Amino acid sequence: MSSAVSKLARLSRPFTVLVEGNIGAGKSLFLDRFNAFPNLQVLKEPVDKWRNLNGQNLLQLMYEDPVRWSLTFQTYVQLTMLEQHMSCVSPIKLMERSIFSAKYCFVQNLRNEGKMAESEYEVLTAWFDFLRSSSEINLEADLVVYLRTSPQVAYERLKGRNRGEEQFIPLKYIQDLHALHEDWLIGKQAPIPAPVYVIDADKDHKDLDSEFLELKKFISHKNQSGKSVSNNSDHENYRQQNL
Ligand code: TTP
Ligand code: MG
């Protein structure tokens, strides 16, 4: 790709919102609210792919024996997240998670816990850095929505939904992931891809109507104005008023 074409490809990406938050925060439910929205693509996390790669349940393997399988699993997570980042079928895109939370929260946690060897961590990081710096690949985003929960609430939701692979997750794991989300999105100890809009997701999903409406309004405005996402002035106004 010539540099002019690749620059154009980077600029013409959809207006991109990343929905982040701990396991059980309610990301999928929140995204469901946008399903019927015009000109908008909702990309749920590819958990089904992680549970069945040609018959291999990588998520299960990772939970059963993270020392053995976490590199395999996180490599595939990184690939499937990259596919989501590169998907471009409508002017607006909402994604569940991103390549960034996979790296800054999950991979970091595996490393902190000594479940991923330094050599493995470095290989994943080399791939991550390559993807981030490639001029052919656009990982940029316009907004991060952080569904912020207390670890206890996230843990109770996780137990309540009873996803088989997650049945032996201890509260400590959710607490550690919470701390890493906080370090990243509130403490800004790792690079944040876009301004962060924080939602108190300890509230019941049904009580998040006003937050949903506010985001919907902002997205509708983007949609009607039809402005290029490379013109960030609207976004800057929004950020200043609301973030
Ligand atoms: P989440 O990405 O948190 O998705 P969720 O559907 O559980 O969240 P919500 O209830 O808010 O919709 O986690 C999906 C599973 O994948 C969970 O068991 C954690 C695991 N996972 C990793 O182990 N590593 C990763 O890098 C990612 C992204 C997820
Ligand atoms: Mg989900």
- Give the pLDDT confidence score for residue 221 in this predicted structure: 79
Kindly tell me if the per-residue pLDDT of 214 is higher than 50: yes
Q: Which of 20, 45, 96, 120 is catalytic?
A: 96
* Mean pLDDT value across residues 133-151: 96
- Give the pLDDT confidence score for residue 205 in this predicted structure: 86
Kindly tell me if the per-residue pLDDT of 49 is higher than 80: yes
Q: Which residues surround ligand 2, an ion (CB under 5 A)?
A: 27-28
Closest CA to 158 of 143, 169, 146: 169
Tell which wins on pLDDT, 224 or 110: 110
Distances (CA, A) of 236 to 22, 71, 77, 120, 243: 27, 38, 31, 39, 10
Cα dihedral sign for 62, 68, 70, 73?
negative
The domain tally of the chain equals: 1
- Give the pLDDT confidence score for residue 153 in this predicted structure: 98
**What percent of the chain has a predicted confidence (pLDDT) above 90?**
75
- CA–CA distance, 141 with 71 (Å, rounded to integer): 26
pLDDT-derived band of residue 2, with 50, 70 and 90 as boundaries? very low
Domain with 70, as residue range(s), is 3-242
Asked whether the beta carbons of 58 and 78 are under 8 A apart, the reply is no
Asked whether the beta carbons of 37 and 89 are under 8 A apart, the reply is no
Is 96 assigned a catalytic role?
A: yes
- Give the pLDDT confidence score for residue 223 in this predicted structure: 60
Which domain CATH number covers 183?
A: 3.40.50.300
Predicted structure pTM score: 0.89
- Site to probe by mutation for ligand 1, drawn from 18, 23, 101 as the one with most ligand atoms within 8 Å of Cβ, is 23
Burial class (CB in 10 A: 0-12, 13-18, 19+), 240: exposed
Counting ligands in written order, which one lies closest to the CA of residue 168? 1
Tokens of 234: 């609207």
pLDDT-derived band of residue 196, with 50, 70 and 90 as boundaries? very high
Q: How far is the CA of 96 from the centre of ligand 1 (A)?
A: 9
DSSP letter string, 128-144:
HHHHHH-TT-----SEE
- Give the pLDDT confidence score for residue 114 in this predicted structure: 98
**What percent of the chain has a predicted confidence (pLDDT) above 70?**
86
Asked whether the beta carbons of 102 and 78 are under 8 A apart, the reply is yes
Number of Cβ within 10 Å of residue 96's Cβ equals 21
- CA–CA distance, 98 with 18 (Å, rounded to integer): 7
* Mean pLDDT value across residues 42-49: 94
Kindly tell me if the per-residue pLDDT of 9 is higher than 70: no
**Per residue in 84-141, pLDDT tens?**
999 989 999 999 999 999 999 999 999 999 999 999 999 999 999 999 999 999 999 9
- Give the pLDDT confidence score for residue 216 in this predicted structure: 87
**Mean pLDDT over the full length of the chain:** 88
